[in-house]
Structure 1
Amino acid sequence: MTAVTDRDTDTRPTVPAKPARRSRWRRYLLMAALPLLVAVGGGYEYVVGGRFVSTDNAYVQQDKVTISPDVSGRIVEVAVRENQPVSRGAVLFRIDDEPYRLALQQAEAALASARLKVEQLRADLGEELAKQAAAEEKVAFEQREFQRQQDLLKTGVAARATYDSVRHDLMAAQQDLNTAKQAVVSARAALGGDPEVPTDRHPTVLEALAKTATAQRDLDHTVVRAPADGVVSQTERLLVGQYMPVGLSAVSVVMNGASWVEANFKETDLTHMAVGQTATVVVDAYSGRTLTAHVESIGAGTGSEFSVLPAQNATGNWVKVVQRVPVRLRIDGNEPVDGNAAVPLRTGLSADVEVDTHYARPLPGVIGSALAAIR
């Protein structure tokens, strides 16, 4: 049996050693540095806080055109389907061309008739010139006969009745000559005053040519084609047999090419914004990708100014509302990144935009004066 001594059963707690003086100073230093770091961080945030302006009221935009037919008629063929890529000149749909073919044939017949009429006018002019020459010759003959009868009358050889008859024939011949000359003038006028004018330069033929060209244009426009490369949309409006009037929207084509972002910034965000400033764009559909852009233009007015019914604030219950101004940002970088393909942008997609205005807020007067004094 082992004996237990007081030394072995001593359970009194051990008194810890006093902290070193260096640990105490470290704690004081941390306590002093923390407010200083907060002040420095807050100052930095204050200075650069107005540099970036952002908005989530932004949308991707692309050029798009609404296509409507130039001629009316019933649709006989629809050559595209919804969201189909098309190239410039591709057939979208066709309108019944039978009425326009008949109109073209009628215009061509009128053109041929006009050309024949011009040739007939030339022949008429030649005929009138011949009549004028004959009338001139008759006047010359009657003038000689009148002179002879007048000389005989003076000598008493000729009778007075014969003299009067010859004088009457001369006056009739002169009247016929005047009529022939007037007919020549009319025939020349019918040819535009120039008998040598080319047939297709005559006003009547020019009018017929214009009508023929119009009929040909209408016939050509019965085939509606894509105006540019892009993607066709809203083809559900097109049905075979449907009557399509002139000017009614038929389909839309979203054009391929550059995209831009239409961002509606608050009017208070435009203080330091300028054209050319850089920006970043994050499309909601591709939140993991950041696109680079730049400010291309700033709207000439707020969105409400260009609305169909602009707001009228000249009332007693007016409440001030912060206005939005459209800003167009041109996308600069949409290239493949880390093996990922370029972002397929589609018109109307929502986006978040942040513009770097490079603006730094000035320091408060007291702090600024103090820093200036230190320098």
Structure 2
Amino acid sequence: MPTTSQENKPKRNLLIAIFLIAIAIGIVIWIFLSQRQQESTDDAYVIGNTIIISSKIAGTVQKISVSNTEFVDQQQILIELEQNDLLIQEKIAEANLTRIVRTVKSQYLTTGQLKDNIRATDFKIAELEADLARRAGGDLDGTVTLENLQHMGQAIKIARAQRDSARQGLEAKQTIFPGEELQNNPEIKLATAHLQEIYLARINSTIIAPMHGLIANRSIQAGERISPGQPLMAVIPLDNVWVVANFKETQLGDIRIGQAVELISDIYGKKLPFEGIIAGIGAGTGSAFSAIPAENATGNWIKIVQRVPVKIFISPDQIKKHPLRIGMSMTVRVDTKDQEEKSFQHIQQHDDISAIYQSHRQLAEQQARDFLNTLLIHNNK
């Protein structure tokens, strides 16, 4: 019996060895196949929007309410400009509008006077014509002299000429000042628009945050003179960031929009991986859009594998729990098993702040309208 057991032992060891080798081969094959269905790169970084803050008007910085790394809400005041020059311009514009309203009002009154004069002339002509008709033929019986009749006819001609001249003057006046409301007069509208422009400039002298985010790259101090469009600071909305992974062109063959992505950040490590989705693939390589594109039409050309940027979406919920900063490094692994091309759609933070500037314009319009209405009410008393 011991002999038989000893004879079977090498066979058993051989079977175990074969079994282990089979398992090892299976693991190797599985790893090989799984790697073939994945593409990875560590050339990936967190990207986000950088909103450059600038002024619409020239001015001197009077107050700065924020510093770098501070979080600001949308429409929070960032910078206030000194307004002395604008206040003087506002008074000049208001005085100019007041003068034009009075001038146009007087022209309308003159138009009314011309109409009254024309009506009075019509009555006078009718009276002269009736008087002439009553006295016609009086020169025959001696009751009226011929000279008087001639004077009456001449008076009618003069009155008619005066009426025609007055009508032409009225027509010229009505061409420039037609029968319309004072606020619809072109000169008043132009002066009102100029006043509105000054009001809007005063509103724009207070610079606000167009979106919420962190302050970065503040480059001004109180007392500095700034010009329109000059970069003053930046606002970074960190709740709307994404990752751009630069894959080699040899890796793009199996990458499709909509594929799942695992992202490992250097800040959180493998314990807190992010889940992402391929949102888009760049239109060209990084070198193609560089400031000085590569020139390959030379005799000493060396082929270099190019990289193409791939945009990866990360849900805002993940970013809210584990915040990321612009420029952070990421390691990206794309699951390429699913080769179906998909149209990726997700809720994005739309870069539309038109409502803010529309409200500024409407406020300036309302202020100018209120001032004009006050003038019109005062001039109608």
Does TM, normalized by the shorter one, top 0.5? yes
Unmatched segments (≥5 aa) in structure 2: 340-381
Q: 2:247 aligns with which of 262, 265, 271?
A: 265
Alpha carbons 1:294, 1:331 under 8 Å: kept: yes
Alpha carbons 1:291, 1:334 under 8 Å: kept: no
Q: How does 1:93-172 map to 2 (within 5 A)?
A: 93-144=79-130, 151=137, 164-172=150-158
Which residue in 1 is equivalent to 2:191?
Answer: 208
**Structure 1 residue 256 displacement after superposition:** 4.2
The aligned amino acid for 1:262 is: V
TM, length-normalised to structure 1: 0.78
Q: Whole-Å Cα distance in 2 between the matches of residues 333 and 291 of structure 1?
A: 11
The aligned amino acid for 1:344 is: P
Does residue 91 (structure 1) correspond to residue 92 (structure 2)? The answer is: no
- Deviation readout 1:44-93 (Å, 9 max, x if unpaired): 33433221111112111233311001111111222222211222222212
Partner SS state of residue 57, structure 2 = coil
Distance 1:141 1:320, change over 3 A: farther
TM, length-normalised to structure 2: 0.77
- Deviation readout 1:151-170 (Å, 9 max, x if unpaired): 45688987666555444433
Distance 1:317 1:173, change over 3 A: farther
Which residue in 2 is equivalent to 1:255?
Answer: 237
Alpha carbons 2:75, 2:209 under 8 Å: kept: yes
Which residue in 2 is equivalent to 1:4?
Answer: none
Q: 2:275 aligns with which of 275, 289, 292?
A: 292
- Deviation readout 1:166-203 (Å, 9 max, x if unpaired): 44433322221111111222232233x32xx3322322
Distance 1:141 1:62, change over 3 A: same
Partner SS state of residue 257, structure 1 = coil
Distance 1:152 1:68, change over 3 A: same
Partner SS state of residue 277, structure 2 = strand
**Structure 1 residue 127 displacement after superposition:** 0.5
Answer with 251-260 or 347-356: which moved more.
251-260
Q: Whole-Å Cα distance in 2 between the matches of residues 177 and 308 of structure 1?
A: 77
The aligned amino acid for 1:74 is: T
RMSD across aligned positions (CA): 3.1
Which residue in 2 is equivalent to 1:10?
Answer: none
Q: Whole-Å Cα distance in 2 between the matches of residues 186 and 260 of structure 1?
A: 67
- Deviation readout 1:278-302 (Å, 9 max, x if unpaired): 1111112222431111222222333
Alpha carbons 2:259, 2:338 under 8 Å: kept: no
Q: How does 1:360-375 map to 2 (within 5 A)?
A: none
Of all paired residues, the percent bearing the same amino acid is 25
Which residue in 1 is equivalent to 2:290?
Answer: 307
Distance 1:153 1:303, change over 3 A: farther
Q: 2:304 aligns with which of 312, 315, 321?
A: 321
**Structure 1 residue 38 displacement after superposition:** 5.0
**Structure 1 residue 116 displacement after superposition:** 2.1
Distance 1:125 1:359, change over 3 A: closer
Q: 1:226 aligns with which of 192, 209, 230?
A: 209
**Structure 1 residue 103 displacement after superposition:** 1.1
Q: Whole-Å Cα distance in 2 between the matches of residues 302 and 143 of structure 1?
A: 96
Which residue in 1 is equivalent to 2:368?
Answer: none
Q: Whole-Å Cα distance in 2 between the matches of residues 137 and 253 of structure 1?
A: 76
Q: Whole-Å Cα distance in 1 between the matches of residues 68 and 44 of structure 2?
A: 26
Q: 1:240 aligns with which of 212, 215, 222?
A: 222
Q: 2:326 aligns with which of 331, 347, 352?
A: 347
Alpha carbons 2:238, 2:323 under 8 Å: kept: no
Answer with 310-319 or 56-65: which moved more.
310-319
Partner SS state of residue 279, structure 1 = strand
Q: Whole-Å Cα distance in 1 between the matches of residues 164 and 50 of structure 2?
A: 70
- Deviation readout 1:230-273 (Å, 9 max, x if unpaired): 211122x1112211011000010112423221222223322222
Alpha carbons 1:136, 1:177 under 8 Å: kept: yes
Which residue in 2 is equivalent to 1:373?
Answer: none
- Deviation readout 1:200-226 (Å, 9 max, x if unpaired): 232222222211111011011111122
Distance 1:130 1:44, change over 3 A: same
Distance 1:39 1:190, change over 3 A: same
Partner SS state of residue 326, structure 1 = strand
**Structure with max Cα Rg:** 1
